[in-house]
């Protein structure tokens, strides 16, 4: 092979390597406003899994619910569709990247608020055919609340904090995909 042909072959080889590196080296990075899809598992400080997008993880953790849908979670990053700390953590991640994150209670479901333990008249519950017992979960405006005390025959103490209030959350997150949102047509 002549020197000129070797030079051309070397240039073509280097160009091919640079082109391939450019194509495979470009990972999509999650930015605010992107449609992002993630696989995740969430657990408390004690290691108890409370949610996952993976059915086999749920089964192994003893939290499998046959009525639940186990699939990656999709949301618009930075659009406050998920808890603040989760939203913040995925921005800047690349497709295929995994990481563990810890979200303090204030950036998740809020701090536990003792003032949200309130007395309720027993008659209000019995009128609704509810006989309360301590640790019962009741629903108020479709939100779970907990009976924490029955000090007498006329009053029931109910905790209106959400079940996740005051809890630090841990997540393992893997970005499955990210894409720019579809353009919305302009109206005339």
Domain regions of the chain by residue span: 35-110+164-179, 114-159
In contact, 35 and 181? CB cutoff 8 Å: yes
Q: How far apart are CA 68 and CA 49, in angstroms?
A: 15
Residues 162, 167, 171, CA angle at the centre, nearest 5°? Answer: 115
Bridge pairing between strands 117-121 and 155-159: antiparallel
pTM: 0.73
Q: In this model, does residue 24 exceed pLDDT 60? A: no
In contact, 158 and 146? CB cutoff 8 Å: yes
Helix, strand, coil % in the chain, rounded to nearest 5: 25, 30, 45
Class for the domain spanning 35-110+164-179: alpha beta
Q: Which helix (H) or strand (E) holds 42?
A: strand 35-43
- pLDDT, residue 184, reads 60
- pLDDT, residue 14, reads 44
Q: Which of 94, 77, 95 is nearest to 86 (CA)?
A: 77
Q: Which of 37, 39, 57, 56 is nearest to 48 (CA)?
A: 57
Band of pLDDT at residue 58, cut at 50, 70 and 90: very high
Q: In this model, does residue 62 exceed pLDDT 90? A: yes
Q: pLDDT over 70 for what percent of the chain? A: 82
Q: In this model, does residue 35 exceed pLDDT 50? A: yes
User: Greater confidence, 97 or 22?
Assistant: 97
- pLDDT, residue 27, reads 63
Which CATH code, of 3.10.20.30, 2.40.10.330, 3.20.20.70, 3.40.50.720, is assigned to 114-159? 2.40.10.330
User: Over the stretch 117-159, which tens digit does the pLDDT of each residue have?
Assistant: 999 999 999 999 999 999 999 998 899 999 999 999 999 999 9
Half-sphere exposure of 9 (CA within 13 A, CB side): 6
């Amino acid at each position: 092979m002549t020197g000129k042909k070797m030079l051309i072959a070397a240039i073509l080889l280097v160009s091919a390597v640079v082109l391939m590196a450019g194509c495979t080296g470009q990972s999509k990075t999650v930015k605010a406003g992107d449609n992002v899809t993630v696989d995740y598992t969430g657990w408390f400080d004690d290691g108890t899994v409370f949610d996952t997008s993976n059915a086999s993880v749920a089964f192994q953790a003893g939290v499998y619910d046959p009525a639940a849908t186990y699939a990656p979670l999709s949301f618009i990053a930075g659009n406050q569709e998920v808890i603040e700390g989760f939203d913040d953590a995925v921005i800047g991640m690349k497709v295929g990247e995994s990481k563990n994150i810890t979200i303090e209670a204030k950036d998740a479901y809020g701090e536990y608020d003792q003032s949200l333990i309130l007395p309720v008249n027993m008659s209000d519950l019995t009128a609704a055919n509810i006989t309360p017992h301590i640790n019962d979960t009741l629903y108020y405006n479709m939100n779970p609340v907990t009976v924490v005390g029955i000090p007498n025959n006329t009053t029931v103490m109910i905790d209106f904090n959400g079940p996740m209030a005051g809890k630090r959350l841990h997540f393992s997150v893997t970005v499955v995909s990210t894409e720019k949102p579809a353009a919305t047509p302009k109206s005339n």
